[in-house]
Amino acid sequence: MKSLYSIIRPIVVAIALFAVAIAITSRPASAQETNPPPVAAKVENESLLDVYQKGGWIMHFIAVSSVGVIAIISFCAMKISRKAMLPSGLEKSLTIAFANQDVSSALKLCEGSESSLSHVVRETFTKAAAGVSVYSKADLEAVAAETIFHEETKYMLWVNMLNALAAIAPMMGLLGTVSGMIGSFDQLAAGASKPSDFAGGIGEAMITTAAALIVAIPSMLAYFVFKNMLQSLISQLAHSSSNLISRFVTGIEPESDHAEA
C-alpha cells in the first residue's frame, strides 16, 4: 500500500500543478483576446502606399533611384554577357574568313552583329586598311586594344552608375532620418508630451532609412557581379581578337586552337 501511495502522490501533485499553471496562463491570454490593442489593428491594415506616404518627401527621390537601379540592372543583364559580347557563331565564322584572309567577308559578317567582337574586328581592319596595302600584326593589335578599351569603358560607365546609386541611396535615407527627427523635435518644442505626438517624425526617419537600404544593397551587389563579369568578358575578348589577328596574318590555326583540339 505504501509503495502504491508513493507512486500515486507525485502524479497527483503534478496534475494539480499543471492545472494551476493552465488556470494562471489562460487568464492573460483570454484578456488579450477580448481586448486587442487598437494600435496593432491599425498597423495591420496599413497598405504599402500608406507606408510610402509616411516616409515623407524624400521617398519620391528614393523611388526614382529604385527605378534607375532596376533599369540599369536590366540593361547590364542584357548587354554584359558572353552571348551579347562574344557570340560563338560569329567567332567561328570570323575564324574561317580570316583563315582564308578574306577581309571583305569578315566585315560583312560584322555588319550584321552589334556584339563587342564585331565592333573590334570592324574597327581594327577598317582603320588598318586605311592608306596601307600591307597589314602589320603590331598595327592590328594596337587598333584592337584601343577598341577593346573603348568597349570596356562604354559598359563600365553603366556599371559605375550602380555603384553611385548604392552610395547615394543611404545618404538620401540619412536625409530622411534627419528630416523626421527635426519634425519630432518641433513637436517637442511646441509642448507635445504624448508618444503619439512623436510617432510621425520617428516613423518617417525609420521608413526612409529602410527604403534607402532596400535600394542600396541590391545595387551594390549588382555592381560587384557585373564588374567581375565585364572584366572576365573583356579578357576573353582580347584573347579572341588576338587569335583572329594571328589567324589572318599567318593563314593557319593558332597554337591555342591546336592545343584545344
Q: Are residues 81 and 147 in the same domain?
A: yes
pTM > 0.75: yes or no: no
Q: What pLDDT is attached to residue 158?
A: 94
- For 80, phi then psi, to 5°, come to -95, 80
In a domain? residue 156 = yes
Residues 116, 119, 125, 127: is their CA dihedral positive or negative? negative
In a domain? residue 3 = no
Q: Are residues 68 and 169 in the same domain?
A: yes
Return left, alpha or beta for 47; rule: phi > 0 is left, psi -120 to 50 is alpha, else beta: beta
Q: What pLDDT is attached to residue 106?
A: 84
Q: Are residues 116 and 164 in the same domain?
A: yes
Q: Are residues 197 and 172 in the same domain?
A: yes
Q: Are residues 142 and 239 in the same domain?
A: yes
In a domain? residue 2 = no
The CA distance from 174 to 168, in Å, is 10
**DSSP secondary structure of 18-30:** HHHHHHHHHHHHH
Range of the domain at 104: 47-253
Q: What pLDDT is attached to residue 17?
A: 43
In a domain? residue 109 = yes
Q: Are residues 88 and 193 in the same domain?
A: yes
Q: What pLDDT is attached to residue 71?
A: 94
Cell numbers for 132, please give them: 596601307
Within the chain, what is the greatest distance between any pair of CA atoms? 120
* DSSP code for 196: H
Q: Are residues 165 and 196 in the same domain?
A: yes
Q: Are residues 77 and 192 in the same domain?
A: yes
Q: Are residues 98 and 206 in the same domain?
A: yes
Q: What pLDDT is attached to residue 193?
A: 59
In a domain? residue 15 = yes
Q: Are residues 121 and 19 in the same domain?
A: no
Per-residue pLDDT of the chain (261 residues; tens, 9 = 90+): 444 444 445 444 445 544 444 444 444 444 444 455 454 444 456 677 777 777 778 888 999 999 999 999 999 999 999 999 999 888 888 888 888 878 888 888 888 788 899 899 888 887 766 545 566 778 788 888 989 999 999 999 999 999 999 999 989 888 888 877 777 666 666 666 566 655 666 777 788 888 899 999 999 999 999 999 999 999 999 999 888 888 887 766 544 444 444
Cell numbers for 222, please give them: 549588382
The CA distance from 21 to 229, in Å, is 62
Q: What pLDDT is attached to residue 175?
A: 86
Q: Are residues 90 and 51 in the same domain?
A: yes
Q: Are residues 40 and 58 in the same domain?
A: no
In a domain? residue 260 = no
Domain count, the chain: 2
